Structure 1
Amino acid sequence: MELHLMHFLIVCPLVFLAGFVDAVAGGGGLISLPAYMIAGLPVHFAIGTNKLSSGMGTTLATARFAKNGYIAWKNALLCIVTALIGSSLGAKLALQLDDYYFKRLILVILPCTALYLTFGKPFVGEKESFPVRKMILFSALIAFIIGIYDGFYGPGTGTFLLLLLTGIAHMGLKEANGITKAINLTTNLTALAVYLMNGKVIFLLGLIAGIFSIAGNYLGTRCFDKGGAKFVKPLMMVVLVIFFVKTLSEILGA
C-alpha cells in the first residue's frame, strides 16, 4: 500500500493521544485503531499496523511491570499459553473476513463500545479469593476468550482482562494488573505475527506511530494520576463518533 503524508498527519497525533489516554485512564486502543481507519487504511492493514505500534508500548509497559516484580509468572504461564492460542485464532478469523463484512460488524461493535464507555463502572472492590488452581483455570479461560477478541479486533483488551480477572477469576487487583500486562503482550505479539505473515503490516507507519504512542504514554504518566482526567471519556466518544460516521458513509457510498 502506498503511503502519503496525510496518513502520518492523521495517524501519529491520534496515536499519541491514544498513548496519553492509555496512561491516564486506559483504553487507548479505542482511539489508536480508529486512527488508522480514519486515515483510510483497509481494515486488515489498520489492525495489523495498529498491533505493531501498540505492541511497542505494551512491551515497554510489561517490561516495567516485570522489572518491578508485579507479574506472578507462575500463575501467568497457563494464561500466556491460552492467550497465544486464542489470539492466533482470532487474527486468522479476522483475515478470513472481507472488508465489506468487517465494516458492518464494526457498526455493531462501536455502539456497544460507546455504551460501555458511558455506563460501564470501574473496578470497585476485590472479591474473596478462589483456591489457586480454580483461579488459574478461570484466568486461562478468560485469557483464551479475550485472546480471540484481541486477535480479531482488540480495543479495550486490557480493561476487559482486568475486569474479568478480578470479577470472575477472583484475582487480587495487584496480581490481575500484572497478569493483564503479560496476557496483553502475548495476544498483541501473536496477532502481530499472524498479520506479518500475511503481509498486512505497514512497517514505516507502524514504527513511527509506535514512537508517538510511547511519547504520549510517557507524557500521560507525568501529567495525571489514574483518576485525574475527566475529559478522557468525551474525547474517546468524539473519536468513536467520527469513526462511526466515516465507516457508515463508506458503506452507504459503496
Structure 2
Amino acid sequence: MKVYQQILIACPLVFLASFVDAVAGGGGLISLPAYYLTGMTAHFATGSNKFSSCIGTIFSTGRFLKSGSFHLRVALVSAGFALGGSYAGARLALVLDDHFLRVAMLVLLPLAAVVILLSRKKDSADISTFDHIPTRRAMALSAGIGLLLGVYDGFFGPGTGTFLIIAFTAFLGFDYKTACGNTKVVNLASNVAALITFVAAGTIQYSVAVPAAVCSIAGHWIGSGLAIKKGARFIRPVMMFVLILLFSKVAWDMLVK
C-alpha cells in the first residue's frame, strides 16, 4: 500500500480516536486498528500509534492544566505508581495467560457502566467532594489507583484511561472534568515512557505517524475543549461508548480464539 493511501486510512480514524481519548480515554481501541488497516506490521503499528497518541495527549493535557481542571499532587502520585505497575504488569504478561482477565472484564465492564449510570442521578456530578477526604487517605488511594491500573495497562491495556476516570470519581470524589485532567497527566507519563522505547527500537513509520499526529492534536484539542466546557453531561455518554466498544472487543477476541 502506498504512503498516501495509508495516510488517508489512518488520519480520519486517528482524529476520531483522539477526540474520544481526550474526553473519556480508550482511543487506542480505534487508533491501533486504524494503523493495522494500513498494512503495517504489529510492531510498527504499535509504535506509530504511540507516537501520534503521545503527541496529541500533550495538547489535551496542556488544555486541562491551563483550565485548572486537575489535581496535580494526585495526578503525579498516580502517575509514578502507574509507571511501576505498568512494568510489573508487562512482566506478568510474559508468564500468565490473559484469558482469566478477559473473563473478568466481561463482568467488570457492565459494572463500570452501572457506576456511570448511577452517577447520572447525583446532583453533584459536576462538583468535586475530594476535599472532604483526609490527605493521607487520598494519597494512599491515588497510589493504589495508579498501581493497580498501571498493572492492568502493562498486562492488558485497552481502556486504561476510562478506568482511571471512573476510579478518580468513584474513590476520590472528583468531578468528571477534574478526573479527566488527572487521567491525562497519568496517560502522558506512561505514553512518554513507552514512546522512548519505540523511538529507540526504530519501530515508527514517520511518513504516516507524523500526519496522523497532526490529526491527533486536532482531536485531542477539540475533545478536551468540549469536556472542559460541558463536563459530566458530555463525558459520561462518551465513556459509555468506550465501555461498549471495549466489551465488544473483549467478547469478540474470546470468540475468535
Distance 1:153 1:144 in 2: 14
AA aligned to 1:172 is F
Aligned-residue offset at 1:172: 2.3
Partner of 2:84: 85
C-alpha RMSD over aligned residues: 4.2
5+ residue gaps, structure 1, are none
Distance 2:5 2:100 in 1: 26
Partner of 2:57: 58
Partner of 2:146: 143
Partner of 2:15: 16
Aligned-residue offset at 1:238: 8.0
Check conservation: 1:30, 1:236, Cα contact below 8 A.
Answer: no
Check conservation: 2:89, 2:151, Cα contact below 8 A.
Answer: yes
AA aligned to 1:71 is F
User: Structure 2 length normalisation: TM-score?
Assistant: 0.69
Alignment of 1:163-242 (within 5 A): 163-168=166-171, 170-173=172-175, 175-220=178-223, 225=230, 227=233
Do structure 1's residue 155 and structure 2's residue 144 form an aligned pair?
A: no
Check conservation: 1:38, 1:243, Cα contact below 8 A.
Answer: no
Aligned-residue offset at 1:179: 2.2
SS, match of residue 27 in structure 1: coil
Distance 2:180 2:222 in 1: 21
- Identical positions, percent: 37
Distance verdict in 2 for CA 1:61–1:234, change over 3 Å: closer
Check conservation: 1:87, 1:190, Cα contact below 8 A.
Answer: no
Aligned-residue offset at 1:208: 1.7
Alignment of 1:96-135 (within 5 A): 121-122=116-117, 123-124=119-120, 125=125, 129-135=132-138
Deviations along 1:161-188, whole A, 9 cap, x unmatched? 01112223x2422553332221111111
Check conservation: 2:76, 2:185, Cα contact below 8 A.
Answer: no
Check conservation: 2:25, 2:160, Cα contact below 8 A.
Answer: no
Q: Which segment drifts farther, 73-82 or 7-16?
A: 73-82
Distance 2:167 2:76 in 1: 17
Higher-helix-fraction structure: 2
Distance 1:113 1:15 in 2: 27
Distance 1:154 1:15 in 2: 18
Aligned-residue offset at 1:191: 1.9
5+ residue gaps, structure 2, are none
SS, match of residue 121 in structure 1: helix
User: Structure 1 length normalisation: TM-score?
Assistant: 0.70
Distance 1:166 1:231 in 2: 15
Check conservation: 1:49, 1:202, Cα contact below 8 A.
Answer: yes
Distance verdict in 2 for CA 1:172–1:60, change over 3 Å: same
Check conservation: 2:69, 2:178, Cα contact below 8 A.
Answer: yes
Partner of 2:29: 30
Distance verdict in 2 for CA 1:85–1:220, change over 3 Å: closer
AA aligned to 1:137 is A
Aligned-residue offset at 1:59: 0.9
Aligned-residue offset at 1:248: 9.2
Distance verdict in 2 for CA 1:107–1:37, change over 3 Å: farther
Check conservation: 1:29, 1:154, Cα contact below 8 A.
Answer: no
Aligned-residue offset at 1:213: 1.5
